[in-house]
Amino acid sequence: MKKNEYELPSIEQARKRDKNRAAIERGLFEIPDECRNIGYGRKYYLRTYGCQANQRDSETIAGILDELAYTASDNINEADLILLNTCAIRKNAEDKVFGEIGALKKLKRENPDLIIAVSGCMAQEEGVVNKLLAQYPQVDLIFGTHNIYNLPKLLFEALMAKEKVVEVFSKQGEIYESLPTTRFLKHKAWVNIAYGCDKFCTYCIVPYTRGKERSRLVEDIVSEVRQLVDEGYKEVCLLGQNVNAYGRDLKLENGFATLLEEVAKTGIDRVRFMTSHPWNFDDETIDVIAKYPNIMPYIHLPLQSGNDEILRRMNRRYTKEDYLKLFDKLKAKIKNCAFTTDIIVGFPNESDEAFKDTLDVVDYCKFDNAFTFIFSPREGTPAYSMEDSISAEVKEERLQILNAKVAEYALMHNKAFEGQVVEVLVDGESKRNKKVYSGYTKENKLVNFTGKNVNVGDLVNVKITKAMSFSLNGELVEE
């Protein structure tokens, strides 16, 4: 294949939006005869970067590779196929991946038959793909977030024809149902409810890499959850860039509230959802969360900034006052609800006063935790070319100040759990200590605890003995 025949990404194209409802593709996935069993006797190593949407995509990639008779491996050195499913949200996420690909050169030299593939949000970026083509000859295959269904064919071309293969569609996107899936966990599952994003926050690359906002049908989502219940899953997390906007493209009234209620009614032990946008959070949804005990009392509500001028330039569509009003309402209606948030410091020309407004909101809301970031300019987004006179040192200093505040409130909330007995869904042995188990409370607090005869997926009672800022220690309460 010659270079000009590649399907390359285009930011211009990715920016477009039409009013049409997204097509639902149910029969698109197929394994052409020549691709059958191309993975037989071959091992793949899949590394996922970034958010839950990417984790879920990786489960689809794994599902397809399993259908092609590949075997999964967690040893990169023995893999015949290495896939990096990448994240583009900030530059440091990308730098990490470029470093990783650089290091793979050695493996490729030792094994010229090795296939190295790059997928995910970075593959949707024009600049990244051009850089990969020009400077990273070890990469054999690049495919985008809209091209996963076509992996058998793309892999076949890369493997058999020994050509570099690039297929990245910059389209608004379809909804792919019935793609194979190998779930990584057996007790909690990610369930996509909507893809893409139409919010176009001025700093964010996601609307370009993942296409327009498009919702799956309620019946498809609910039947997926029912099946998960049948398979013994204890928890589902409903995924969308803006779950609160769910169903708007389907012209559903109160789409997310209706969906959430239907999912709660399946009887699954725990329902979570991610991510909420303050702009679309309606009263109906709040009432449903408050009504069903199996909807977890935990809301991730990105603030980004507490300053109205910055929020306006971010195109967030709410003011500080709107955010606080919503926060108060959620807190009043949902009993013992935990709140986390995302905050960006150092947005172009963020003044000291503007930063202080953000700190004021943190002081008011006293979040259980916050994910904090220094603004990272993303090529193709409006904020990329905004004038910025704030130095890197000032931004770093603001991040430290904010993080100290966040840790203080996190500890305050966690301290309140000391001495209490909480329900924990067990994830397994703790990463650091094999004699210790770990899992999450309903409020999404990480608990490390001692105990006997504990299995992954158990819902157990744990007495909290000690609180740290970002985790709790405890002991199993024997029944």
Q: Does 197 bind ligand SF4 (CB under 6 A)?
A: yes
Question: Binding segment for ligand 5AD among 74-82, 95-103, 322-330, 374-382 (CB under 6 A)?
Answer: 374-382
Q: Does 207 bind ligand SF4 (CB under 6 A)?
A: yes
Q: Does 383 bind ligand SF4 (CB under 6 A)?
A: no
Q: Does 204 bind ligand 5AD (CB under 6 A)?
A: yes
User: Among residue numbers 272 through 291, which ones bind ligand SF4 (CB under 6 A)?
Assistant: 277
Q: Does 51 bind ligand SF4 (CB under 6 A)?
A: no
Instruction: Give 22 or 383: the residue with its C-beta nearer to ligand 5AD.
Output: 383
Q: Does 13 bind ligand 5AD (CB under 6 A)?
A: no
Instruction: Give 11 or 252: the residue with its C-beta nearer to ligand 5AD.
Output: 11
Q: Please, what is the Cα angle at 473 between 472 and 475, to 5 degrees?
A: 135
Say which entry of ligand SF4, ligand 5AD, none residue 242 contacts (CB below 5 to 8 A, set by partner kind): ligand SF4
Distance CA 455, CA 192 (A): 27
Instruction: Give 138 or 170: the residue with its C-beta nearer to ligand SF4.
Output: 170
Say which entry of ligand 5AD, ligand SF4, none residue 197 contacts (CB below 5 to 8 A, set by partner kind): ligand SF4
Compute how many residues bind ligand SF4; rule: CB under 6 A. Answer: 10
Q: Least distance (Å) from ligand 5AD to the CB of residue 376?
A: 4
- Taken in order 184, 189, 193, 194, is the CA torsion positive or negative? negative
Q: Does 304 bind ligand 5AD (CB under 6 A)?
A: yes
Q: Does 90 bind ligand 5AD (CB under 6 A)?
A: yes
User: Among residue numbers 229 through 248, which ones bind ligand SF4 (CB under 6 A)?
Assistant: 241-242
Q: Which of 342, 423, 429, 458 binds ligand 5AD (CB under 6 A)?
A: 342
Q: Which residue is nearest to ligand 5AD (CB)?
A: 342
Q: Does 355 bind ligand 5AD (CB under 6 A)?
A: no
Q: Least distance (Å) from ligand 5AD to the CB of residue 201?
A: 7
Instruction: Give 197 or 406: the residue with its C-beta nearer to ligand SF4.
Output: 197
Q: Which of 101, 206, 237, 406 binds ligand SF4 (CB under 6 A)?
A: 206
Q: Which of 136, 200, 384, 470 binds ligand SF4 (CB under 6 A)?
A: 200
Which residues of this protein are in contact with ligand SF4, per CB under 6 A?
Answer: 197, 199-201, 204, 206-207, 241-242, 277
Residues that bind ligand 5AD (CB under 6 A): 89-90, 203-204, 302, 304, 342, 344, 373, 375-376, 378
